[in-house]
A and B are shown apart, each in its own frame.
Chain A
């Protein structure tokens, strides 16, 4: 069953801690993306990666880091430098450059700072 899996579904972080959100896809998609979803602000792009071992900052990259060592995986680390990390995080993937620009989204991770 092809798809994109995010884990965990809920994550609690203490202030000052780094946490890593997992995103795995078995769709053979080249491109992967991380978005942050806040009420009234829509989806804002954090980081994206078009190919393995390459990624670019999105609109709100400060306080976040990513890696793309494998095509299937694009983990997001929320560092202690992120001032307001409590949010819903969405991962997506797509077959970039093929003319079909639809994204497939994961089910999301809700991060809460306690």
Chain B
């Protein structure tokens, strides 16, 4: 079954500390993975996608097929990073659709 798991519902770190939001997936095909972010009172928006190997707002995520993981990392957290983060898997087999994890609420403490 296709599934995305974010084991941490809540994550709290201090400003300037490293951040890692965990994401694991289950998918029999070649995975296409994304991170979406929802800041307070804003729309859910795309943060980054693994196929473009980009770094957005200092965040990076590496696909590890051996561990079926796509963890989101940032070396130095900033207060404006506080938000809800969702990992998502794009299902290509059959109809195309995104499957989301449960989300992690990240709080950066001053």
Binding site for B on A (CB under 8 A): 31, 33, 35, 40-45, 48, 50, 56, 58, 90, 92, 96-97, 101-103, 105-108
Contact = CB atoms under 8 A, between A and B. Distances in A.
Contacts of A90: 44
Contacts of A43: 44, 86, 100, 103
Interface string B17-52: 000000000000000101010000001111001000
Contact of B96 (A40, A96, A106, A107): A96
Nearest to B33: A101
- Measured as residues with beta carbon below 8 angstroms from the partner, the interface class of chain B is 20 to 34
B90 A101 contact: yes
Contacts of A106: 43
Contacts of A31: 96
A33 B97 contact: yes
Contacts of B101: 42
Given A33-B98, A43-B86, A56-B95, 9 more contacts: A42-B4, A42-B86, A42-B101, A45-B97, A48-B97, A101-B32, A102-B46, A103-B36, A105-B43
B49 A102 contact: yes
A31 B34 CA distance: 18
B102 A41 contact: yes
A60 B3 CA distance: 15
Q: Which 6 A-B pairs have the closest CB atoms?
A: A42-B102, A43-B100, A105-B44, A102-B46, A42-B100, A101-B90
B45 A101 contact: no
Contacts of B13: none
A72 to B, nearest CB: 18
Contact of A101 (B95, B98, B103): B98
Contacts of A56: 95
